[in-house]
């Protein structure tokens, strides 16, 4: 192994370790920021790109998390993103 190869391998290892460390530190903050985004019923329809009747059906069938305040439905972006991730179709699956 040449010195240049060794340095490149060392650089790649350091980059991988630093990336993992930074992500592990930022992950709680990212989740906290996502939980702070709360959508109204109409905003959730726009975000998910579904009709009001579709979102009502999703709520009625407990397909999507929500909470009520004064008879209004609200949705957290974090939960909507988790729902999208759960129905995501990946090539090769």
Q: Which residues of the chain fall below pLDDT 50?
A: none
Architecture of domain 37-93: Orthogonal Bundle (1.10)
The pLDDT, as a whole number, for residue 32 is 75
Question: Helices 3-36 and 77-87: crossing angle, nearest 10°?
Answer: 120
Question: Are 91 and 47 within 8 A, CB to CB?
Answer: no
The pLDDT, as a whole number, for residue 29 is 84
What does the pLDDT look like over 20-46, one tens digit per residue?
Answer: 999 999 988 887 776 678 999 999 999
pTM: 0.60
The pLDDT, as a whole number, for residue 35 is 67
- CA angle 60/62/42 to nearest 5° reads 60
The pLDDT, as a whole number, for residue 93 is 58
**Whole-angstrom Cα distance, residue 57 to residue 51?**
10
């Amino acid at each position: 192994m040449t010195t240049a190869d060794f340095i490149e391998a060392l650089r790649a290892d350091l980059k991988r370790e630093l990336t993992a460390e930074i992500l592990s530190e930022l992950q709680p903050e990212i989740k906290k920021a996502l939980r702070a985004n709360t959508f109204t019923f109409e905003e959730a329809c726009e975000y998910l790109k579904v009709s009001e009747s579709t979102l009502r059906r999703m709520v009625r069938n407990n397909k999507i998390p929500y909470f009520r305040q004064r008879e209004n439905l609200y949705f957290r972006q974090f939960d909507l993103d988790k729902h999208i991730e759960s129905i995501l179709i990946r090539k090769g699956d």
